[in-house]
Homo-oligomer: A and B are copies of this chain.
Amino acid sequence: MISRQQLIDQIKLKKSFLCVGLDPDMAKIPRFLLEYPDPIFEFNKRIIDATRDLCIAYKPNSAFYEALGIKGLESLAATWKYLPKDCLNIIDAKRGDIGNTSDMYAKAFFDEAASGLGFDAVTVAPYMGHDSVLPYLNYPGKWVIILALTSSAGSKDFQYLTTENGLLFEAVIKTAVTWAGPDRLMFVVGATKGSEFTDIRKYAPDNFLLVPGVGAQGGSLEEVCKYGMTKDCGLIVNSSRSIIYASTGEDFADAARAEALKIQLQMKEELEKAGII
């Protein structure tokens, strides 16, 4: 469990607001790992060991584990247990269902005794409204990270529709901030256009924003910081593929560290520029 203040302290201590996305694909991990009993965990373990002082969050995406069935869920549970507890542990699950079903998803991701997983935070899809979000908030101190603006081509299909409450992703933010405070709620905000952060900050001035897409999905860190950073930083910037697949050889962990370090140094510069450190 990690509170808003602890998160801010970690950012200042590590001079970083990097989240490493743990999306391991059996077809892409280095071949020599296939000899281990749990290649996916072995891959994650080495990535974590190589990056833990450079990042403040880890984010396994559930899909990559579910694709491997029961073996995958075992890898996810082992990975969760291994994650450093001074980092925010996010499960990127993008769930969303009616209330009694969301209770079950909250158990699946937050209640270690029930499911073997006890993440700090979960990503949630907003389409089904408040009853798909509130059940997670019954777990004291746990975080919900609501999809607002995503970074892929499909985000244009619905998220930019104009509604009576602004663009759809703005309506999601304006409504969701009435459900919980910035100590419990974050938003996923895709980084393809930095200027959109200005609008988002009108409605979510203090919420942390989880920003995917710096790296493989192609956003600019400088632009994100220029428009999205607050006095508490207020940003967690994720990179998955560009770090974990920096090399596919035996040196993959060293290459991942080098890539994470490159990003961390840029982040340090941005934090200094903003007077946060």
Q: Which residues of A contact B (CB under 8 A)?
A: 23, 25, 61, 63-64, 66-70, 72-74, 77, 94-99, 101-102, 104-105, 107-108, 111, 114-117, 125-133, 147, 150-159, 161-165, 168, 171-172, 175, 217
CB pair A101–B175 under 8 Å, yes or no, is no
Please indicate which of the listed interface residues A105, A129, A150, A154 has the most CB atoms of chain B within 10 Å of its own CB: A154
Please indicate which of the listed interface residues A68, A102, A125, A168 has the most CB atoms of chain B within 10 Å of its own CB: A125
Query: Using Cβ atoms and an 8 Å threshold, which residues of chain B touch A69?
Result: 73, 77, 108, 114-117
**Smallest CB-CB separation from A129: which chain B residue?**
B154
**How far does the Cβ of A73 sit from chain B's closest Cβ, in whole Å?**
5
**How far does the Cβ of A139 sit from chain B's closest Cβ, in whole Å?**
13
CB pair B129–A63 under 8 Å, yes or no, is no
**Smallest CB-CB separation from A99: which chain B residue?**
B152
CB pair A98–B130 under 8 Å, yes or no, is no
CB pair A155–B128 under 8 Å, yes or no, is yes
Please indicate which of the listed interface residues A77, A102, A163 has the most CB atoms of chain B within 10 Å of its own CB: A163
CB pair B175–A154 under 8 Å, yes or no, is no
Lowest 4 CB-CB distances: which A-B pairs, in order? A129-B154, A129-B157, A66-B108, A63-B104
Query: Using Cβ atoms and an 8 Å threshold, which residues of chain B touch A61?
Result: 97, 101, 104
When A131-B152, A152-B99 are in contact, do A126 and B158 touch as well, CB less than 8 Å? yes
